[in-house]
Structure 1
Amino acid sequence: MSEKVRHSSAATLERILAAARDAFAEHGFDRARLDSIAKAAGVTKQLVYHYFKTKEELYGVVLDRVSDEVRAMLDDPDFDRMPPVDAVGVLIERIIQAYVERPYIIGMTIDQDLHGGEHISRRSKYMPTLRQFIAERVAPMLERGSAEGVFRPGIDPRLFYWSIFALASAAFTQRWAMSQSSGIDFAGEQGIALWREHVRTFALQAISPPALPG
């Protein structure tokens, strides 16, 4: 196969995956249609089937790619060298920035929760590497914070990670309800900045050691 043909095939595959990602994010797995995905990608439905035998297989590949993107955005080797308070702030910032830069994560996250993760492939490294991230990045930052006296001891890193992830992502997954009930536009930069600072302050206060009496 010539280099030109390989490049053309790779570009076609990328268009299909991008169109599928957007369709799954907007409509969910159940309502996304392969013929609509093919049309958006500028290819035939038969060509989509050439690359992917079923919609389930296509969804699994898209989900793996999105998961890899999110994991790469969250991790940072500098976490180990940052002051613990700064590391928590950067982690929250990275969660929020992932949703800002990749809005399709919102729909994919909600849809996969509705399906109980059934489309996450067995070969996917998402869950193993997420567990590794919590164990090797989040747990040490909490332990260092405790040793330095800025965090209270005994914080479960798994519960802490999912608490801040759920809180940080709420302005995106619950944007309409939050905006309507609060009068704050969480679709705008000011609303997101306000939420970012709130989550950071809330999280750090929650894990701070208790004040000494007197």
Structure 2
Amino acid sequence: MVMEGAPVMSWEEAKAMCEGVGDVFAKNAAKDRDRLLKLRDTFGSIRGTFAQRQAAARRTVEEALAEILRIEQHEQGRDNSAEMARRLDELAQSKAQLEAQLTGLQQNQVATETHIEELILQYEQAQRRYMDECAAREKDVPRLRQNMAVYASITGIKWDFSSDRIAGCIHIPERKLLSNFDLSPTQSPYETANALWTIIETAHEAPQK
């Protein structure tokens, strides 16, 4: 069927829509990059805070061990009675517990730092992959626009995006021809493609009026 004035989206409107999609993608990519950088800063802050707490705990244990050693030396030089021997034994037990605690703190610090390093590495790898994908998609936008321009120029097709069906028209300016089409979305992709190409070929082969 040949009709003029069909309510379809023009190529300029479709092109503007495509450019708008590209702009939205670029803005979202910038926002995502800011969020990733903020996440990396948060990792750094957590790592710094944990290191400070571990260092403070280690200093406390080391100071306690030093105090125990000082008391041991003082008591050994002062008295050798049974009471002093008992106190020295208690101090020795406390010293052993504190030394075990210090060893545990050191091991936990190494394990935690290793875990944080792994998380940061995973984050940096994910960030690189994300930025590579962003760059690849940004390169795809001009290619998509070019393909759409070539496609529209060759076929003369204009889609009606307001329809729930596969609808639009074939526009051939040199023939002043506008041929509408309306296909069922329930057809298979093969049937739809065949029907659409038949409509395109028929429109291009129509005799000039």
How does the TM-score come out when normalised to structure 2?
0.20
Larger Rg: 2
How does the TM-score come out when normalised to structure 1?
0.20
| Bigger strand share | 2
